[in-house]
Structure 1
Amino acid sequence: MYSIVTNSTDSVTLRLMTEHDLAMLYEWLNRSHIVEWWGGEEARPTLADVQEQYLPSVLAQESVTPYIAMLNGEPIGYAQSYVALGSGDGWWEEETDPGVRGIDQSLANASQLGKGLGTKLVRALVELLFNDPEVTKIQTDPSPSNLRAIRCYEKAGFERQGTVTTPDGPAVYMVQTRQAFERTRSDA
């Protein structure tokens, strides 16, 4: 059985990813609906690539925290959070606030898209991150052509801040501040 690391948000929960999840993640990262937005065809990973890239995070040797999203006890997707400050490789070099977290996620199955699960996953991740009082803001950077992801983030409370240039190319810079998160929670 999986250990849940956050409160349930609309039945989607998150648990820390383990070494045993790497083969499943490899399979997911090679699915067409994920490849389209997560590196492209030329970046399809091998199992060895996935182990090399994600095992250090699983073993808490990096600043990236990987999660498996669950629905009714079944894995439905991958999510990760990271400290934006000093993330390296050309990412967020202007960031000066140590409380800013970046996020990325994807649903495992194309059949799950467009049904609100992505929004529920993002909300669960946001709630988990803002449970840490040190977190001031959460940011993400979908491709300008990934309209589904942009809508998902907006429904989860993120606001567009403009277009930025990232190592992966142009992106829509989207944020949710702690103040906005707390305001929406108090309005509910």
Structure 2
Amino acid sequence: MIRGQKTTIRPIEEDDIEELYQWYNDPDVNLWASGAWPLNTLLNKDQIALKFLDGSPDIYRYSVLDENNLLIGTIGFKDINIPGQSAALYIVIGNKSYWGKGYGTDALIVFVRFLFNQWNFHRISLDTWDENIRAIKAYEKVGFKIEGRQREARFVLGNYHDAILMGLLRDEFLALHGK
């Protein structure tokens, strides 16, 4: 387990599946997590369990807990490039009562530090959609910079939106947040 000021990150456990099932089938959570509402696919509990417990060996998934060890979200990384020492990051705060209270930012800081120090990544990237301003601001607090956009790459609620591409280098993060 790795601990931040407000959050703890640990591997996903079987007991987490019920909560994950609720979040990943919630239109608000999906809208802000990926711009994917209406959902591309509605997942049942068995599919959620398969995705999070037995999923791809190339995607690393973890649970985000609050100060009382209550599950509030998930975080992870994928698209690992060993020669380039890079990966893509994702985070979802599924418990909506924790939105806008700094839990996502805290989880990102502690997890990004883990990725740079333990996995020895040089660069971490992520993407979101242009109207997800709350997420973009949280990413910028961590040190991510907007590196580009893919025009009309997301279809959200009947309209096309730009995908916002963001990146963070190890030296930038360490200068901002220390080891």
Q: Structure 2-normalised TM-score?
A: 0.82
The change in CA–CA distance for 1:97 and 1:113 in structure 2 (over 3 A counts) is same
Matches within 5 A, 1:51-90: 51-57=49-55, 62-72=57-67, 73-85=69-81
The Cα of 1:147 is off from its aligned counterpart by: 0.9
The aligned amino acid for 1:55 is L
Q: Which has the higher strand share?
A: 2
Higher-RCO chain (CA-CA 8 Å, sequence separation at least 6): 2
- C-alpha distance in 2 between matches for 1:144 and 1:84: 25
Deviation string 1:6-49 (CA, Å, 9 cap, x unpaired) is 2x222211001123322221112122321213332233322232
1:147: which partner in 2?
A: 133
- The answer as to 2:160 corresponding to 1:162 is no
Q: Structure 1-normalised TM-score?
A: 0.79
The change in CA–CA distance for 1:165 and 1:51 in structure 2 (over 3 A counts) is farther
- The answer as to 2:40 corresponding to 1:45 is no
Matches within 5 A, 1:77-116: 77-85=73-81, 97-116=83-102
Which structure 1 residue ranges, 5 or more long, are not aligned? 86-95
Q: Per the alignment, in what secondary structure is the counterpart of residue 36 of structure 1?
A: helix
The change in CA–CA distance for 1:166 and 1:62 in structure 2 (over 3 A counts) is farther
Q: In 1, are the aligned partners of 2:66 and 2:103 still within 8 Å (CA)?
A: no
The aligned amino acid for 2:38 is E
Q: In 2, are the aligned partners of 1:35 and 1:44 still within 8 Å (CA)?
A: no
- C-alpha distance in 2 between matches for 1:141 and 1:50: 22
The aligned amino acid for 2:37 is G
The number of aligned residues is 169
The aligned amino acid for 2:44 is T
Which structure 2 residue ranges, 5 or more long, are not aligned? 156-161
Q: In 1, are the aligned partners of 2:153 and 2:163 still within 8 Å (CA)?
A: no
Deviation string 1:93-133 (CA, Å, 9 cap, x unpaired) is xxx85411111111122221111111112112111211225
Q: Per the alignment, in what secondary structure is the counterpart of residue 128 of structure 2?
A: coil
The aligned amino acid for 1:99 is Q
Instruction: Decide which moves more: 116-125 or 19-28.
Output: 19-28
Deviation string 1:158-180 (CA, Å, 9 cap, x unpaired) is 11101036975641111110110
Q: In 2, are the aligned partners of 1:144 and 1:172 still within 8 Å (CA)?
A: yes
- C-alpha distance in 1 between matches for 2:47 and 2:102: 31
